[in-house]
Each structure stands twice: as structure tokens, then as C-alpha cells.
Structure 1
Amino acid sequence: MSIGNSPSDDRPSVGRALAQARIAAGLSIDEVSTTTRVRVPILQAIEQDDFSRCGGDVYARGHIRTIARVVGIDPEPLVERYVAEHVPASDLAPVAPLYEAERIRSEPRRPNWTAAMIAAIVAVVGFVGYTAVKGGGDSGVTAKSTPTSPAATTTKPGATPRGNGVPKPPQASGSAIAAAPPGKVTVKASAASGASWIQATDSNGKQLYQDSLKKGQSVTWTDDKKIKLIVGNAGAVQLFVNGKDIGRAGGKGEVAHLTYTPGDPTQG
């Protein structure tokens, strides 16, 4: 490799051509270095046609191409001139394939273990879900419904009270309007807009219910002859008697005393 060869014609040398193009583009050595990642001392040497700092002909040609593209000129004529002036003919055949091989060589692909693990997890979850669904379908076990209120349990007329002597509240009715069995009286109370305290007794004076009813809860009672109600905050309670919506039990904050029979919905 020769250093600082002078051109044999009127054309500028490789280094001089790169320097002129850089100046014409308004770029400094530091700016070209930042863009190309070629160190400043190497750039300065190349512009003086000193390619000894490049580390060999392959790297020198790579630097020439990179710098030429940044300063806005065609790199191939400069590379050809560099080869003609600095590279012996005996080195051309092996050098070019070596440079191209280094330029296009890529790292071997590694197995995508993350994708494989995700696929395995999805398969396991799918199998477990299928097994659970299939097993649940073969077991013949039907899930039991849960009352809407922990305190709401069914108390039939005539049943003996438990615990402190106060019957548990009936289970909340799932229907919008309480159905009326033939020849009986059915009353449903729903705390539609607020909480209320309610007492319900049957025709024999037996207490069917005595508790607070929270907003959104409802209770239903049935008797052969008569159901009597005492309803606190009556304006918050919606009543359904023998399958008919009769509206609010009373005014907001009022205490209503009501009686219903199989022939109603007429308030007593």
C-alpha cells in the first residue's frame, strides 16, 4: 500500500475529492465522524490520501463508500480509483469476495424459545379447560343458586321460628311480579328506591317476617286467607299483590299498615 500518491491526471485524488465534497456540503470533520462513526484522525488521514490508518484495503474501500455517501457524491468512481492506485492486481480476486462475505454475513438464527414456551402454555391451558368442561358436563351436578341476601332464607307459613324466635327473611323472589296461586293471597315487597323495615303476619297472627329490607332486595309471602304488613319508609317499597303491581306502599318516611286477601289488590 502506498501513502500520499499524487494523481497522474487533472482529477483530484480520492482524499481530495472527499474533502472538497465535504466542504461543499457544509459539513465539518466532526459531523462526518458522528454520522459515519469513522474516527476523526482516520478521516483527516483519508482526506490527505493516507489510508494506512484504515487497517487494510477492505476497510479503506468501506470507509470511502461510507464517507462519499454522507458528503453526497458517487462512491464507486472513488473506489475504482483507490483500487487502481493502491491495490495490487494480485490482491483483487480474493479481496472482493472477502469484503462482500463480511458485509452480507448475518448471525445464525436462534431458536425462538419465547414463542415455543407461549405455545406450550396455551396448549396446556386449553387442555385443562377442555378437561374441566367435559368433566363438569359428565358429573351431573347442578350448581345451586345463591340467595341475593345472606339473611334471606325461605320461611313457610306455619313453620316454627328458629334461633332468637324471629323468623329468617324469605328468599328474594326472582320474578318481577309475584304470581298468585289460586285461592291464596300472595304479596311481594321490593325495596326499589331505599331501605325499609317490614313486619309481615298471616291470618292466624303468626309472624312471617320482621327485618330490614335493603335497597334492591325483595321478599314474597303467601297465605290462605290474609297477610298483614307494617312497612317503614313506605315510599321506598314497591308492592305486588296477587300478581299485580299496586305501586308504593305509602309516602316517603311514612309507616304504612296494610292488609291483603285473595280477592285483592285492594288495600285494607
Structure 2
Amino acid sequence: MSIGNSPEDDRPSEDSAPRADDGPSIGRALQQARIAAGLTVDEVSQSTRVRGPIVHAIEADDFSRCGGDVYARGHIRTLARAVGLDPAPLLEQYGAEHGEPAAPTPATPLFEAERIRSEPRRPNWTAAMVAAIVAVIAFVGYTVVSGGDDDGGKQQAAEGATPATSKPATKPSPGKKPVDPKPDPSDSAIAAAPQDKVTVKLNASDGRSWISAKDHNGRTMFDGVLERGQSKTFQDSTKIDLVLGDAGAIQLYVNGKQIADEFQPGQVERLTYTKGDPEVG
């Protein structure tokens, strides 16, 4: 059900044209698969989060309402999976009819996703090395502070002092519990996310991407572009809904855990996360 749209918005654009060849068009193939699956447009809209008017328009081969070529491909892929079709032939057909995606340019419109990478994501070894160095420095500092007296005793014995002048090593009392070691300062701050809330962190490590975040009431928490190197953290008591314009450019952390994804550059993803172990809603 579409909220805030006039009846004219629910009708497909008149610019769409039927296919001239013998095979079914993209929209017709999606419509036939949806009907064969026993699904209504509203049911497909709810499961894919693609608005009903856009579903109607795509089934009529009108892609002008998708908001751009990248979003049109993302909608085709999402709808095809929802009705049990292989999206690859439909995307190939779309490319033959509308042209292949243009190469990335230095500046793009606000709501168009860029193709930043052409090769698979690799582990962020730089961040891992920095974390390891910080951990080593913290361990050395802790050792120097806590073991200063013992070092002094060893130095005095080396200079010829009698062993009786050095401090004996203290042993923990039988009734006392050992003090828990301090947490490694290299741990990410998001690892301490509260268990009674859902916490999502987005890091644009591989490029810039348009993102949208909403809380469990549907209120917008953020809607805009995350530039390369920037990060955003969102928190809600129940759930957080995300839309990633270029999911391949984003590193995602949910409730203190990094989400291992296979998102491709330029891929549009709609995700929902709740409390506990991160699972896509």
C-alpha cells in the first residue's frame, strides 16, 4: 500500500513501450512469475520493500520511476528473486534494451550509486596491523607499570646488592580472586554495544554511497551520502531499517559484529537488523 501518493502516481508512465520481439518483456516475465507464485503486488511490495506503484510500473516495462539505471537494475534483481526467477537473464535483457551501465565519473548525482571497485574486496590489513601495534604498545605499558618494582629488584641484584634487599614476588591471597585484565584498547568501541538495543555502524571504507536509516517507528535517522572514509553509527531499542545505494562500498557492523557480505559494487540493498546476533530481517 502506498502512502502519500495520488492515484496518478500509481499508474505506470506512458513512456513505456512494448517489446517488438517474440519473447516476453522484462515486466511481463516478472508479472507472469508473480501470478504463477500466487502473489499479489502488495505482498511482493511488502517482502521486497519496493513501493507498489514502482512494482506496477516495472511490470508495465516502465523503468522511469526507479530513480536511475542503477536502481532499476537493483529493483529487477530484487523482484526476480521474490517471485522465483533468475535475475541474470533479465538484467542481460535490460542491458541489451537500455545499454550497459556507464563507467564511473568523478561526480555523480546525489541518488546514483558509483561503481567504485572492479575487483573483490580484500581484507583490511592496514587496520589489522594498526590494531596489533596498539595492542603491543598497551601490553608493554601495562608490563612496565605493573612490573616496575620487580625490575628494580633485578637491577639491584645485578649491581652486587645482596639478594635479601630485593623484594620477594608477591603471591595472590587464597581468598582473593584475580583481577580481570583490562580490555584490549584495540577492540572497537562498537563491540561494547548494549544487548538491550540494536546498534548499526556503517563505514564507507571502499567508496562513497547514499544511505538511508530508519528506526522502528519508520522515522528517518539519516538520509544522505556517506563519503569515502566516513562512518555513521545508529542505535534503536527495537530495529533499524537500512537502504544502501552502493552496498559494495560499505563495511557493516551490527551489535558489535562485522557482517561478512558478498555485495557487489553498485548493488542496492535493503536490510533490517534487530537485537541479538545480527541477522537480516
Q: Using structure 2 for the length normalisation, give the TM-score.
A: 0.39
Q: Using structure 1 for the length normalisation, give the TM-score.
A: 0.41
Higher relative contact order (CA 8 A, sep 6+): 2
When Rg is computed on C-alpha atoms for both structures, the one with the higher figure is: 1
